[in-house]
Amino acid sequence: MAQECSKSDEVVLGAEVGIVRVITLNRPRQLNVISPGVVYLLAQFLEKWEKDDDAKLVIFKGEGRAFSAGGDLKVFYQGRKDDSCLEVVYRMYWLCYHLHTYKKPTVALTNGIVMGGGSALVVPAKFSIVTEKTIFGMPEASIGLHPDCSFSYILPRLPGYFGEFLALTGSRLNGKEMVAAELATHFVPSEKLRELESALLDLSMNDENSIRSVIEKFSLDVQPDEESILNRLPTIDKCFCGESVEEIIKLFQDEANMAGNEWIFPILKGLKRSSPTGLKITLKSIREGRKQTLAECLKKEFRLTMNLLRSVISTDIYEGIRALNIDKDNSPKWEPSNLQGVSTEKVDLCFKPFQDELELQIPGDEASRWSGKYETTVYPSLKGKPDYLVSYVNDSSGTRN
């Protein structure tokens, strides 16, 4: 019998079944978006179970068709004048680091929309399961943001320049394509998902081979469909290797004018409608990510998010959220309105490191993160702290203060 760790009206449910722990995102009507409450509860469950010797496997899943439709953008919009959203941003980046370096096997069961920051719960999982109903995308650049939550680390490690393509265009992938691109590990038909979950809950062995063996009993070997974007990789590589957004768009436009490349036109149209600031910051971030470690990428993404939320060079993020989520007119008015208005100097300003004490304080390597203890203070309340974040110091006992 599962032991519920939270009430049914919580945004996140936790259950304990034998050696398995289950996290369920529980806001299906809101597409299970990542809200401040979700971040807080995810952190609590993950910390508790990582220190629990009886917990051997953690499963992530979502109620309804959406696993997680990304971050709650309305929180950013509502907090644009008082910095109230900055604490949850700091917590979210720490959570991303924790997910990547979690010390116990994780399985993500994904049977619906997986967008933006919500993908950070799926892609880093040791075993990420998708179905024919799964839809993945990173649409941040289109609204003046950037692929965050570790995706400037993940996307550059896809084949060729496919990461740049996904980051700049926000193009969507289905479950088969996610497996082919190695953004997911296994494809399981949706009608088999509950049976798979039951088999995982019955596990008595926690080694990765045992977990993989159970999953492979339900998974299928799949290939992208004939019309898949993954069959266009030579064209994508030819265009998205460009050194600037302007060059990429020109190369893509030239290819669109060639016979047989009609598939480019709707993608190109969306690309041209996106935030010029978001596009330029995104390209630079992805290109830097090719040579950066996970920790370096997360620290960089934190700076970018902070600077964009504080409108250091543009207010496009708020205009994008307004057009998409508030007024829903889908007619954003970008400032600057074109790529030429976004100078290299402006973009570089968003990447400029903060003072050391204001940076995202995560270990530079995995070994330095663990020294015997891992206290909940890595997800502290920042209220009353100087500015908008707090520095973490390892004392001799390994506790983070």
Q: How far apart are CA 147 and CA 41, in angstroms?
A: 23
List the domain boundaries for the chain: 3-363
Strand runs labelled E in 182-314: 186-187
Choice among 117, 118, 137, 163 that is catalytic: 117
Burial class (CB in 10 A: 0-12, 13-18, 19+), 262: exposed
Residue 366: the pLDDT is 54
* Torsion of the alpha carbons at 284, 287, 289 and 290, rounded to the nearest 10: -170
The residues pairing with 14 across neighbouring beta strands, listed in sequence order, are 23
How far apart, in Å, are the Cα atoms of 327 and each of 31, 138, 211, 314, 359?
Answer: 19, 22, 46, 20, 34
The secondary structure element, H or E, covering residue 39 is: helix 36-50
Choice among 16, 87, 148, 316 that is catalytic: 148
The residues pairing with 25 across neighbouring beta strands, listed in sequence order, are 12, 62
Q: How far apart are CA 346 and CA 369, in angstroms?
A: 34
How far apart, in Å, are the Cα atoms of 200 and each of 22, 175, 238?
Answer: 10, 21, 43
Residue 56: the pLDDT is 94
Choice among 71, 118, 175, 278 that is catalytic: 71
148 is catalytic: yes
140 is catalytic: yes
117 is catalytic: yes
Residue 36: the pLDDT is 77
For the chain (401 residues), the mean pLDDT of every run of 10, in chain order, is 50 92 81 75 92 95 68 69 71 90 94 86 94 94 93 94 97 96 96 96 88 97 95 97 98 95 96 97 97 94 93 94 89 96 97 90 56 31 34 26 25
What CATH number is given for 3-363 in this structure?
3.90.226.10
20-25 and 12-17 as β-strands: parallel, antiparallel, unpaired? antiparallel
Q: How far apart are CA 232 and CA 222, in angstroms?
A: 18
Choice among 140, 301, 316, 319 that is catalytic: 140
Residue 393: the pLDDT is 22
Residue 41: the pLDDT is 87
Residue 115: the pLDDT is 86
Q: How far apart are CA 342 and CA 276, in angstroms?
A: 7
